[in-house]
A and B are shown apart, each in its own frame.
Chain A
Amino acid sequence: MSAVVLGRPRRLSRLRTLPAGIVIGGPLAAFFTVIGLIGIFYQYLPAANVLWSNQDLFNVLSPPGTPGHLLGTDALGRDLLARSIAGAGISLELGLAVTAVTVVTGGVIGIIAGYFGGVADRIIGGLIDVTWGFPLILLAVIMAGIIGPGFLSVLVAVGALNWAGFARIVRGYSLSLREREFVEAARVMQIPTWKILLRHFVPNLQAPILVMASYYIGVTIIIEAGVSFLGLGIQPPTPSLGDMIADGQNTLGASIWPVLVPGAMIAIAVVGFSMLGDGLRDLLDPRLSKPQI
């Protein structure tokens, strides 16, 4: 039995104009994604490392437009553009990883809670009560204290806080999906539960997945940047946007570019994904709410 998909996103042709969020956020997010993909590519190509770690000591703290350095250099003469691209790659990687974990675990738990109710439901409710509203930065720093700085602590912190929220959203969807006739029909036809859940519930979760994923990527990027800025995130020599800004702080008087370039990159990512999330929400399901940080 083929999947019954409900509540398709409105056909674009029926809308006069796309929501502002998509118009503005979409290109920004896309831009960052492209840059990030290049950055990820850099990472896995050992030869590319030299691009962002090479120290051009004749051109320390130079402004944009210096020959060979499109956006200038930092205190060690490293090319800001290349470093930002690499940093964006790390951010994107982390963003996608965390979002994937959040969406998958939150989604699974949410479906279980929504469909089966009972204990699972109660536990989720309790967990959400506790975790909702907890400042992410604080948790990320504490996690850095517990499991040590790096990729993992940010993953755990952001993932832990957001998955409960996502689980609740998915639970809501599951509750209403459970009541639909086709679910009844499938049960009557003795189709195994897991099949029902997989082939009918999951496809109908497009809306929350798309919207929240967009938000979560943005949230992760900014938390990672903040934590790295504090020195508790991605550790050098792996470049990280937050780390670059922290370095730039020391030479702020001489040149703002080491701060401005990665800062702008982060801003593009965060504003882009945040607005994209808003736009998708307007388009697909205005009831969804933005996650708190």
Chain B
Amino acid sequence: MMTDLAPSAPALTQQPPDQPVLAVSGLITTLKAGRRSVRLVDDVSFSLRAGEILGLVGESGSGKSLLLLSVLGLLSPPVAIEAGSVRLKGRELVGLAERELRSLRGAEISMVFQEPLTSLDPAFTVGHQLAEAVRAHRDCSNNEARELSVMMLERVGIGSPAARYKAYPHELSGGMRQRVMIAMALLLSPSVLLADEPVTALDVTTQAQILDLVLGLQAEMRMGVVLVSHDLGVVLDIADRVAVMYAGQIVEVAPALELAAAPRHPYTRGLLASKLSLLDTTSKVEVMPGHIPSLADIGAGCRFAPRCPRALERCSLEPPELEPDGAERTLRCFNPLGQQT
């Protein structure tokens, strides 16, 4: 029945309204090279509620993309999850059999990638790839899958969807391709959407359109979204809460407005400061000295210490833990900005 597949159904499992739809706790992902192993994702914890957009920010190399791949279990050796827990609506994903994971991917939890041209198979039509996603999870005929796909194409704002269904990826514009990716991810009304730099490869106007699209769909479907970007502006635009990542670790989590107005971690302040406002013609661009350390040679202590203007002696000796900072925030720092709340 078509309505069974329609993407407007609410989450199928009953759940207490305030239980997070995605809960990551102490996740550690390592790269093993011979005897040595490097932690690319180090003790990451965060939670996502239904209907919430969580932004994840950090420089390139901070591990944000890898974090998303870890959540989905899409890692390949020699990279693997070493420890930690990922709960999707209460169900543990780490250590889950591949078959089970496959049934969840694309149906309960989906991902959208950065570069839509290379992320779509160039040898098949867009429609084929959409219908394929449907038929991978639902027992239905080709026609039903096609109807659903065309409907979804329309919903993401693609004009003449029936015609576009038969197009190949290289025949569409960048913006349209990204809409297709989003359509593909949302076909089966997942509870969680992971978006890895979804707008970075697009021009500014299209960026805004896609972000609006995501915002709208997310509200309609009560989905939880993790939006990853190195662009703080994009994230602050639509996220409810923001998590800041540095060198594989989460260093601060806070509601978006509060983070922007009163950042606690020196790195967050640095990120904010290096974003210029269009209207601000007087401040200089503040650039943070140094760069993300190679994860292979991290010393003891806080990873940001070498670049931190507020570093204490303690900071180089022992690593700070991620701890609650008031009701809605968490923080990993010995010498944060502002006052304790």
Direct contact between A and B in the complex (CB less than 8 angstroms)?
no
The interface of chain B, by Cβ under 8 A from chain A, is: none
